[in-house]
Amino acid sequence: MSQVQFKGYAVTDATKWSNFEVIEFEPKKFEETDVEVAITHCGVCGSDIHTITSGWGALRTPVIVGHEIVGTVTRVGSQVKGFKVGDRAGVGAQVGSCYQCRACKQDDENYCPKMIHTYHDKYPDGTVTQGGYSTAIRANELFVFPIPNGLESRHAASMLCGGLTVFSPLKRNGAGPGKKIGVIGIGGLGHYAILFAKAMGAEVTAFTSGTKKVDDIKAMGADHIVVADDSGEFAKGREMSLDLIISTRDAAEGMPIRAYMSMLWVHGKFITVGLPDKPLPTMHAFDFAFNGCFFGASHIGSKAEAIEMLQLAADKGIKPWIEELPMSQAQTAVERLKKNDVRYRFVLTQDLA
């Protein structure tokens, strides 16, 4: 039987997106392939803001957001391998899939057409998924990640969405020694892109919209810093200089995509992981033709990638730039994040008895 009570900080009124109330909720039915985790830490992700402000669609309440979850294993199904009660474990932005399709069978479960999100989604039986601003979570073992020794829980938490979201496209697109990587937008995701790209051995150019973060970006390890505006003038003289660009920008209006595309080497890739509420600017076929570049996106990451990322962080001593708040101050965290008032991720610590 469960050793934890399931309750959390929920938005119960879509017109009051930052007001949280403590509610009890019914988790998914426990199955023998499940792991149950008592939550100690949960990162605050931009996805939480997009969801509770209805930026990505109408909000269905009550909803408990949060999908950068770390805690202690309290229950393990009989078919689970690799976890035992008392282990530290994490859960990211996905808690289910079909487990049988081509994507699921080749470590691409994060692209399963029947994926189930950690919150604001439903299991096939109708159970509503609730996230990590709470006391506990249950999930299939495929979506539960072991936290390696040498990596603190508070540092691991925001890696499970923010970190994995940029690690996956870096990994899949060959970031490493000899590669030149551009990172657009140095916020929660962008700062992770710098930290991981440098740890993987790449040369990093950071694109930021002003000068206020320059000292921070240097401290993160970026090799080059470019102050970029929406005119695209910054791209002149830098044509075909980068192998890969990771864009974390969360504002679509005025984004000079053509300028960024011109900086890609032959068959270089522009990968967006920022998901603005509004459509991106229109592009023309000629924007791709002269260097044969590609435009694409990426969606979180697989368990295999999560395990590799967490071990890299432990081995390299990677520590995200975080600010910790008790979970009861979730309202403060989301309101400040909405104003971009964070350097560079919030992590909520459990204080709900």
Q: What's 79's domain CATH number?
A: 3.90.180.10
Ranges of residues in the chain with a pLDDT under 50 are none
Gap between the Cα atoms of 117 and 6, Å rounded: 18
* pLDDT recorded at residue 160: 98
CA angle 209, 214, 215 (to 5 degrees): 160
- Do the Cβ atoms of 188 and 162 come closer than 8 Å? yes
Kindly report the CA angle at 165 between 163 and 170, in degrees rounded to 5? 90
pTM of the complete model:
0.96
Please indicate, yes or no, whether residues 345 and 256 belong to a single structural domain of this protein. no
What would the two tokens of residue 333 be? 């965290």
Assign 346 to helix, strand or coil.
strand
* CB atoms near residue 34 (< 10 Å): 21
Q: Are both 12 and 89 inside the same structural domain?
A: yes
Task: Write down the pLDDT at residue 255.
Answer: 87
End-of-domain residue from the set 297, 315, 337: 297
Q: What is the DSSP string of 238-256?
A: -TT-EEEEEE-----TT--
Per the listing, tokens 């309440």 go with 61
Question: Quick check: helix, strand or coil at residue 163?
Answer: helix
Same domain as 247, residue 338: no
Position 1 scores a pLDDT of 67
Residue 273 lies in a domain: yes
Q: Both 180 and 291 in a single domain?
A: yes
Identify the CA nearest to 152 among candidates 349, 352, 351: 349
pLDDT of residue 253: 79
Identify the domain containing residue 66 by its residue range: 7-161+301-349
- Asked whether residue 267 falls in the same domain as residue 344, the answer is no
- For residue 234, give both structure tokens: 């910054």
Spatial distance between the Cα atoms of 119 and 129, rounded to a whole number of angstroms: 5
- pLDDT at position 254: 80
- Whether residue 98 is found in the same domain as residue 26: yes
The secondary structure of residue 199, as a DSSP letter, is H
The count of structural domains within the chain is 2
pLDDT of residue 4: 85
φ and ψ at residue 308, rounded to 5 degrees: -65, -40
